[in-house]
Amino acid sequence: MSARNRELLGLIPVAGLLIAGFAAVFSVRSAQLDNTSLIFGAYFFAICLAAHIFLRFRLPNADPYLFPLVALLAAIGLVMLYRINSDLARDQANWFVVGLILFMLTITFLKDYHVLERYRYLIVVAGLVLLLLPRMPVIGSQVNGAYLGIKLGPLAFQPAEFGKLAIVVFLASYLREHREVLVVGAKRFAGITFPPLKHLGPMLVVWGAAMVMLVFIRDLGSSLMFFGAFLALIYTATNRISFVIIGLAMFLVGAWFFATTVGHVGDRIDTWLDPYADANGTGYQVLQSMFAQADGGLFGKGIGESLLWAPGAKETVENTLIPQVQTDFIYALIVNELGLFGGCGVITIYALIAARGFKIASLARDGFSKLLAAGLTAVFALQAFVIIGGVIRVIPLTGVTLPLISYGGSSVLANMVLVALLLLISDRARRPEPGEPL
């Protein structure tokens, strides 16, 4: 079967799942079925089909599993958002349409993504600016002590979502060029291989950027995600585990230093270690998340059947028992309603996407493609890890979104571009060489 036919086959169960999910929410609400769920399902299937047909023409050789997996996450997100509030699901579906348009534009205009290498310094500057925008006066906005969003009138935007793409593109390009010297010029000292001093500079810059994020953005999770992606790329480029260890040590030392000197970062860590110390204040959010998961158990309460609002409360998005349930804490709601099995299902989908992403990286034929695919996959997987990990207290709570599931336009748009880049790399990698038998 051709790659694209496999992709099409993969999309059909996704649409089915969406219809079933909507039908479940609907039947819980009004104890009867309605064709709304079918309409939503058909609409979703139609836009996925449009993207699929586009891929058929533009990227016939691209990985067949990536897009259905992405659609699956989007479908899960839409069902959970519909369960919270139907307006959220409608907005998110619209963002998904815009995201797909951006996805197609990326594929059309970045067919030769190597042009990105030419603009890498411009891209990294833009990326850093994007990361620091939320600290700008007037437009910057703070949520839970972290600066991850900006507000322009009614428009809210999370620039870090695009910032991560820019940083990965830059690092892939920079390391493609310098990987040889990093390895060749390395010196062994006290049993550890150190990169050559003159090339240590850019690494220190990235480390510095991660520290700046920690201090200015006050978000340990997102700086962990950026620095993790950086280490993944360094490791892929040089195959030197010692570089990763040095980098990790530098990060931990820096994080420890700022955690003890910058109040907000330290508070986050204290809350992580003992949320009960201030159960109604700083510990409230993560405790609500844990309680919601405990309520879910093995199989969950069922879609639409968990206690989303306290009895007597107004049923608004701001009033939910789990705070920010539509964005940061959506995973807690998934475990609450679909149980441990639902949570593991979601994690498995992310793992499968990571597997496809790294597969694309290993199939890619040139250094930049390999590094770019590996970097994009790493940053995507790390983002999922960091936010789920924060919600379930593996690491301190952080403010990034759960990719493709959380409510939010910037997240959907940035991740659709990320997927488009992966598919572009994949198509080029799997394209038969001229003269090769088909």
Partner 1 sequence: MNVPIRRLLAVVLLLFALLVAFTSNWSVFDAEELEAKTENKRPLFEAQQIKRGKITTADGQVIANSKKTGENESFQYVRRYPMGSLFGNPIGYSFITQGTSGFERSENATLTGEENEFVSIIDQIRGQQRQGSDIVTTLDASAQQLATDQLEATGRPGAVVAIEPSTGAVRVMASTPGYDPNTVPDDQDQLNTADPSVLTNRAIQDAYPPGSTFKVVTAAAALDSGAATPDTILSGASPQEFSGVDLANAGGEQFGDIDMRTALTESVNTYFAQLGEDVGAETLLDYMDRFGFGSDPEVQLPDDQKTPSGIFVPTDKGTYKQVDSDFDLARVAIGQGGEEGQVLATVTQMAEVAATVANDGKLMKPTFVQQVVDPDGRVTDELDPEVQSDVISEDTASELTDMMTSVVEEGTAEDLNGAVDGGFAGKTGTAEINIEEDLARPWFIAFAPVDDPQIAIAVTTDPCTGCFGGTNAGPIATAVMNELLNNG
Residues that bind partner 1 (CB under 8 A): 28-29, 232, 235-237, 239, 276, 279-280, 287, 290-298, 307-315, 321, 335, 339-340, 343-344, 347, 350-351, 354-355, 358, 361-362, 367, 370-371, 374, 377-378, 381-382, 385, 388-389, 392-394
For the chain, what is the HEC assignment? CCHHHHHHHHHHHHHHHHHHHHHHHHHHHHCCCCCHHHHHHHHHHHHHHHHHHHHHHHCCCCCCCHHHHHHHHHHHHHHHHHHHCHHHHHHHHHHHHHHHHHHHHHHHHCCCCCHHHHCHHHHHHHHHHHHHHHHCCCCEEEECCEEEEEEECCEEECCHHHHHHHHHHHHHHHHHHHHHHHHHCCEEECCEEECCHHHHHHHHHHHHHHHHHHHHHCCHHHHHHHHHHHHHHHHHHHCCHHHHHHHHHHHHHHHHHHHHHCHHHHHHHHHHHCHHHHCCCCCHHHHHHHHHHHHHCCCCCCCCCCCCCCCCCCCCHHHCCCCCCCCCCHHHHHHHHHHHHHHHHHHHHHHHHHHHHHHHHHHCCCHHHHHHHHHHHHHHHHHHHHHHHHHCCCCCCCCCCCCCCCCCHHHHHHHHHHHHHHHHHHHHHHCCCCCCCC
Burial 160-173 (b: 16+ CB within 10 A, else e): bbbbbbbbbbbbbb
Smallest gap, in angstroms, from Cβ of residue 68 to partner 1?
A: 19
CB of 328 to partner 1, least distance (A): 15
Q: How far is the CB of 182 from partner 1 (least distance, A)?
A: 13
Identity of the residue, 107 or 402, whose beta carbon is nearer to partner 1 in the bound complex: 402
Report in angstroms how near the CB of residue 418 gets to partner 1 at its nearest.
15
**Closer to partner 1 at the Cβ: 82 or 385?**
385
Least CB distance to partner 1 at residue 117 (A)? 17
Of residues 254 and 389, the one with the C-beta less far from partner 1: 389
Residue 188: CB minimum distance to partner 1, A: 20
For partner 1, give the closer residue by CB, 288 or 324. Answer: 288
The CB-of-164 to partner 1 minimum distance in angstroms stands at 16
Provide, rounded to whole angstroms, the least separation between the CB of residue 63 and partner 1: 15
Computed on alpha carbons and rounded to an integer, the radius of gyration of the chain in Å comes to 22
Specify the residue, 167 or 395, whose C-beta has the smaller distance to partner 1.
395
Q: Which is nearer to partner 1, 101 or 347 (by Cβ)? A: 347
Q: Which is nearer to partner 1, 216 or 235 (CB)?
A: 235
Task: Provide, rounded to whole angstroms, the least separation between the CB of residue 282 and partner 1.
Answer: 13
Residue with tokens 């990571």: 354
For partner 1, the closer of residues 2 and 239 by Cβ is 239
Q: How far is CA 10 from CA 4, 49, 69, 72, 290, in A?
A: 10, 11, 8, 9, 34
- Centre a 10 Å sphere on the Cβ of residue 21 and count the other Cβ atoms it contains: 23
Nearer to partner 1, 106 or 398 (CB): 398
- Which C-beta is closer to partner 1: that of 24 or that of 71? 24
Least separation in angstroms between CB 156 and partner 1: 27
